[in-house]
Structure 1
Amino acid sequence: MELPAAFLQAMERLLGPEYPVFLQSYQQPPRRGLRRNPLKCGQPQLEAALPFALEPTAFSPLSYAFAAGEEGVGRLPAHHAGLFYVQEPSACSAVTVLDPQPGEKVLDLCAAPGGKSTQIAGLLAGEGLLWSNEIVKSRAQALLSNVERLGVPNAVVSSCHPQRLCQSLQGFFDKVLVDAPCSGEGMFRRDPAAVAQWSPESPAACAQRQRAILDSAALAVREGGVLVYSTCTFSREENEDNVRWFLSAHPEFALLPIEAGFGRPGVGDLPVRRIYPMDGGEGHFVAKFQRVGENVDKVGPFTAYLSRREEGEFQGLFEELFTCHWPGSAARFGDRVVLLPQGLPELSGLGVLRAGVELCHQKGKRWEPSHAVFQAAHKEDCRQSLELPWDAPELLAFLRGEEIPCEGKGYTAVCAGGVPTGFGKASGGRLKNHYPKGLRLLS
């Protein structure tokens, strides 16, 4: 791998005597990893669904490394079912430092493609609220797809400018994550495109953009709340220099020490954390702040719920699909009906793509169940289900969009390892496939 000369010179100045070890790490393959989704499975279930071994990492109890030679991980049925998210191990470090707890309101301000958001969701365990935002609309759609695949029931996904979003939701969140767009130096070993896009001017230009995002993020944190800033780069301009700038520009925040069993201290005397390729990851930086100054939450609640008459209609559909209790909060957005999490703020004007879980969508004059509601369901709550082994030819056929044999009649969850992967409609011994065309396996 040929690295830019200006980058190498900067790293030699930064690392001093450790520079040769850093350079040698680029002769090794990038570390590959995945993160278990606790909303869907425990570790034994995950291991049973995979054809390769997992090695725990220091970055999160949910993070595992696997052999560099494994290919086609994203095509595995367990990936389609949302049991895991493919994620470089050190990328889990920021959320580990954020430490979201069930019941908290958490904002992931720069969330695409969704690795850190879905990690937060797993730790919230379906309680509280996750707001995942991505300013670039196309990337926000990819974010939404991952949030739905992992069965997150309590998320809002939006595509909104950070300044507008944080002004509208001032003081609303217990915790905010800014995993900022950066010069990507920590991606060089695994992504040649990151090397090609880098220039000597990249760190300074990115640092200015990051400061604007941090300015916005500060608005959204409640008094006593936590803000975590992370990058996947090594430059001081984007890391320690931005931390010092933020503390100067925002005296209402204090820098908290990070107690972690990974990485190493930052440059200088700041209690931040750095991760290099020789530390078992690819490259990350994390800093943790707490708002010590006042920030009044004036955010109004969401009120556009279904009327009692409308709710009765869709409750009937829900009870046709599931045996569990009707969640109790739903709304209609155009031709879609969604099941909403509790504690939702006003959504208008914030570029919301989806809130909660899509129950159904309109097709002509009728309402049809949506894939997302089965992705968020548990097998034991499904009124009808078809259980298949992970290596069953019928499961692969289902994921390709084909009809498969199935007894019974009506909407049926297709499960593997006790986990729904999608659904179809059974009739006459066959299951008509409802797996979304854009998600299907290609033969």
Structure 2
Amino acid sequence: MQQVLPQSFIDSLAGLPGFEKDKFTDVHENTEQVTSIRLNPLKPTPATNDLPVANTVPWCGSGRYLSARPSFTLDPVFHGGAYYAQEASSMFVDHIVKEIYRNQAPPKRVLDLCAAPGGKSTLLAAALPGSFIVSNEVIKTRVGMLSENISKWGSDHVIVTNNDPKDFKKLPGYFDLMVVDAPCSGSGLFRKDVAAINEWSEANVEMCSLRQQRILTDTIGSLKEGGFLIYSTCSYSMQEDEEICDWIINQFQLQPVKINIDPSWAIVETISKKNAATGYRFYPDKVQGEGFFIACFRQTNPVDNFYGYHNKVAVAPKQIQSIVKPFLKNFDDYLISDQKEIVIASLKKWEEEIATISNTLNVRKSGVAIGTVKGKDLIPHHELALSHLLSNDIPAVNLAKEDALKYLRRQDLVFENEKKGWTICRFGDINLGWMKVLPNRVNNYYPPNWRILKA
């Protein structure tokens, strides 16, 4: 798709590390967009019949480039959370996490501050399966999509919150790792979002830089001594990238962290002018990916620590727990609570963290929703079907693609020989959701607000 970049924008990039004007403008005018996905390690790898996998993203072992962009909407395993469609450059977070924790214990508590729609949170959930992850989004209208993507991913160690960055001042020294993918002027995504080109201006860059400083000022105090900050933008602007790195060091005395990279990846290593902080620039004329900037820092200063709440999570009555138990594997690892008539399973190991976050922040999703108890029966929740908590003893049926799409459209299905009762619908051994087989019909329990509307 041919694009005309504003001359003022091109002029603003002159002298940036790695910027080559002719190659940069050419890739925006002539090159097709790159499509990439990241596989979910907790779910079966989808067959490549309908997914044109080309090769692996070099800095992320679970990342895959596709030779063509498929209709994700019409791929059943996409709805089952077998993979996440994510821009390849931003998957570099996976490499940074593996590098900084290569020779030390993984972080206990992780914050993804600007999380929607969920790309980096699901990446962190996969890369750090033993960590407690707070996935926060400040914009209320985006929290629903974030929660949906976390649910599809099937994680039981992620809690979704809807808070302004200033609210995290109530959690001093709490997190071992913070990821701040800051709101920015968006110039790195011009190839994917042509409309954004007309919105770019030097005034908007300045406004974004000030917003980034406010966000970091509000939240860096919640990073514990020895903890890491990963800062990123999808902007090329030095004001939002290297100059913010220098500002972080001047303002908070964080220590920049250099990350080992393979020269063949063609990622541009950049050094900030004032404090020699190392950052990494991604240019679409050099890498298979869009424009991106990322840097890592370590908190080496003593900070006040938050000691948490020690109250317990209220557990459901034994009768409810006995009804739920047959649906779960590793039942004893979970706290079973009844929240607003929905039974929730949360990992016992994170009870204190769950209590702390619930008492401090606006929680929108916690644990895995198991279902609603009606009398002596459980109406299972869609989240349970997509999670790894589901018992292997639950009946399941693998659908042909045509029937899988019917199911995802919430249309009627017909089965003659299936066992009566609650049954999991699958496609390619990947769970899609629930149906209930009755003597004379099949009830489709796919969530109405998730159904495919596309013909």
Give the alignment's TM-score, normalised by structure 2. 0.88
Alpha-carbon contact 1:182-1:207 (below 8 Å) kept: yes
Cα distance, 1:33–1:114 mapped onto 2, change above 3 Å:
same
Q: Which residue of the partner structure matches residue 402 of structure 1?
A: 411
- What secondary structure is seen at the aligned counterpart in 2 of 1:360? strand
- What secondary structure is seen at the aligned counterpart in 2 of 1:35? strand
Q: Which residue of the partner structure matches residue 284 of structure 2?
A: 277
Q: Which residue of the partner structure matches residue 89 of structure 1?
A: 88
Cα distance, 1:328–1:152 mapped onto 2, change above 3 Å:
closer
Q: Which residue of the partner structure matches residue 120 of structure 2?
A: 116
Q: Aligned to 1:358, which of 365, 369, 375?
A: 369
Alpha-carbon contact 1:153-1:356 (below 8 Å) kept: yes
Alpha-carbon contact 1:305-1:332 (below 8 Å) kept: no
Cα distance, 1:194–1:385 mapped onto 2, change above 3 Å:
farther
Structure 1, unmatched stretches of 5+, are none
User: 1:230, CA displacement in angstroms?
Assistant: 0.4
Q: Aligned to 1:227, which of 226, 229, 232?
A: 229
Alpha-carbon contact 1:315-1:326 (below 8 Å) kept: no
Alpha-carbon contact 1:104-1:124 (below 8 Å) kept: no
Cα distance, 1:290–1:103 mapped onto 2, change above 3 Å:
closer
Matched, 1:293 2:301: yes
Counterpart residue identity of residue 399, structure 1: L
Cα distance, 1:296–1:191 mapped onto 2, change above 3 Å:
same
Instruction: Name the CA distance, whole Å, in 2 between partners of 1:411 and 1:327.
Output: 24
User: 1:415, CA displacement in angstroms?
Assistant: 2.0
Instruction: Name the CA distance, whole Å, in 1 between partners of 2:32 and 2:169.
Output: 43
Q: Aligned to 1:132, which of 128, 132, 135?
A: 135
Residues 49-108 of structure 1: CA deviation (Å, up to 9, x unaligned)? 64423321223111111124x331233101011001111111111343133776632110
Provide the alpha-carbon RMSD of the alignment. 2.3
User: 1:318, CA displacement in angstroms?
Assistant: 2.0
- Greater mean alpha carbon deviation, residues 314-323 or residues 233-242: 314-323
- What secondary structure is seen at the aligned counterpart in 2 of 1:145? helix
Instruction: Name the CA distance, whole Å, in 1 between partners of 2:374 and 2:128.
Output: 34
Q: Which residue of the partner structure matches residue 67 of structure 2?
A: 67
User: 1:361, CA displacement in angstroms?
Assistant: 3.9
Equivalence map 1:311-322=2 (5 Å):
311-322=317-328
Cα distance, 1:325–1:241 mapped onto 2, change above 3 Å:
same
- Greater mean alpha carbon deviation, residues 12-21 or residues 354-363: 12-21
- What secondary structure is seen at the aligned counterpart in 1 of 2:334? coil
Q: Which residue of the partner structure matches residue 151 of structure 2?
A: 148
Cα distance, 1:424–1:246 mapped onto 2, change above 3 Å:
same
- What secondary structure is seen at the aligned counterpart in 2 of 1:88? coil
- What secondary structure is seen at the aligned counterpart in 1 of 2:60? coil
Alpha-carbon contact 2:330-2:389 (below 8 Å) kept: no
User: 1:402, CA displacement in angstroms?
Assistant: 2.4
Q: Which residue of the partner structure matches residue 31 of structure 2?
A: 28
Counterpart residue identity of residue 118, structure 2: G
Cα distance, 1:396–1:74 mapped onto 2, change above 3 Å:
closer
Give the alignment's TM-score, normalised by structure 1. 0.91
- What secondary structure is seen at the aligned counterpart in 2 of 1:93? helix
Equivalence map 1:37-436=2 (5 Å):
37-41=40-44, 45-48=45-48, 50-68=50-68, 70-99=69-98, 104-125=108-129, 127-164=130-167, 166-251=168-253, 253-261=254-262, 262=265, 263-268=267-272, 269-278=276-285, 279-301=287-309, 303-307=311-315, 310-341=316-347, 342-343=349-350, 344-345=353-354, 346=356, 347-361=358-372, 368-377=379-388, 381-389=391-399, 391-406=400-415, 407-428=418-439, 430-436=441-447
Counterpart residue identity of residue 55, structure 1: N
User: 1:302, CA displacement in angstroms?
Assistant: 6.1
User: 1:435, CA displacement in angstroms?
Assistant: 0.5
Alpha-carbon contact 1:382-1:413 (below 8 Å) kept: no
Instruction: Name the CA distance, whole Å, in 2 between partners of 1:399 and 1:33.
Output: 23
- What secondary structure is seen at the aligned counterpart in 1 of 2:295? strand
Alpha-carbon contact 2:395-2:419 (below 8 Å) kept: no
Alpha-carbon contact 2:321-2:336 (below 8 Å) kept: no
Cα distance, 1:306–1:408 mapped onto 2, change above 3 Å:
farther
User: 1:388, CA displacement in angstroms?
Assistant: 1.4
Residues 180-226 of structure 1: CA deviation (Å, up to 9, x unaligned)? 00000100011112212222211111011101111223112111111
- What secondary structure is seen at the aligned counterpart in 1 of 2:172? coil
Residues 293-348 of structure 1: CA deviation (Å, up to 9, x unaligned)? 122432423635234xx342332232242354243313333232321133224212
- Greater mean alpha carbon deviation, residues 241-250 or residues 290-299: 290-299
Alpha-carbon contact 2:111-2:133 (below 8 Å) kept: yes
Cα distance, 1:288–1:17 mapped onto 2, change above 3 Å:
closer
Instruction: Name the CA distance, whole Å, in 1 between partners of 2:207 and 2:336.
Output: 43
Alpha-carbon contact 2:209-2:239 (below 8 Å) kept: yes
Cα distance, 1:402–1:74 mapped onto 2, change above 3 Å:
closer
- Greater mean alpha carbon deviation, residues 132-141 or residues 96-105: 96-105
User: 1:19, CA displacement in angstroms?
Assistant: 1.5
- What secondary structure is seen at the aligned counterpart in 2 of 1:316? helix
Alpha-carbon contact 1:132-1:157 (below 8 Å) kept: yes
Instruction: Name the CA distance, whole Å, in 2 between partners of 1:219 and 1:178.
Output: 13
Give the % identical residues: 28
- Greater mean alpha carbon deviation, residues 80-89 or residues 254-263: 254-263
- What secondary structure is seen at the aligned counterpart in 1 of 2:70? coil
Counterpart residue identity of residue 360, structure 1: G
Instruction: Name the CA distance, whole Å, in 2 between partners of 1:135 and 1:264.
Output: 31
Cα distance, 1:191–1:411 mapped onto 2, change above 3 Å:
same
User: 1:385, CA displacement in angstroms?
Assistant: 2.5
Cα distance, 1:368–1:204 mapped onto 2, change above 3 Å:
same
- Greater mean alpha carbon deviation, residues 366-375 or residues 116-125: 366-375
Counterpart residue identity of residue 319, structure 1: K
Cα distance, 1:200–1:214 mapped onto 2, change above 3 Å:
same
Instruction: Name the CA distance, whole Å, in 2 between partners of 1:393 and 1:399.
Output: 10
Structure 2, unmatched stretches of 5+, are none
Residues 328-383 of structure 1: CA deviation (Å, up to 9, x unaligned)? 3133332323211332242124111011111124789986321001111367x243
Alpha-carbon contact 2:113-2:165 (below 8 Å) kept: yes
